[in-house]
Amino acid sequence: MSDPTPDRPARRAVQPSELPRTVLLAFAVGAALLIAALEFLVLRLVGVDRIDPWGFLVVVVVAAVGGGFLTRVLVPRIPVRGGSDTPPG
């Protein structure tokens, strides 16, 4: 890999998560479901009784992207017990 140039700064190294992938996936799915429920609640509060399939698709995509974003933002802040830094016992 070449040295970073002034017009292209070096990227930060991504820290590997100490949480298992299944936990990360469950967190992302839960966040996406919460976002979708909030979207439908807001739609209901503004008076939307029915949405067409395209509207449903928009809600699902926004919820999935939002859940993934929340996972990337919040998971590094979750303290992990029993990680490699802590002594056994």
From the list 63, 57, 86, 68, the residue with the least C-alpha distance to 25 is 68
Total-model pTM: 0.67
From the list 40, 33, 16, 38, the residue with the least C-alpha distance to 68 is 33
What's the confidence (pLDDT) of residue 10? 67
Q: Are 59 and 36 in contact (CB under 8 A)?
A: yes
Q: What is the pLDDT of residues 23-82, one digit of tens each?
A: 889 999 999 999 999 999 999 999 998 999 999 999 999 999 999 999 999 888 777 776
Q: Are 29 and 37 in contact (CB under 8 A)?
A: no
Average pLDDT of 83-87? 54
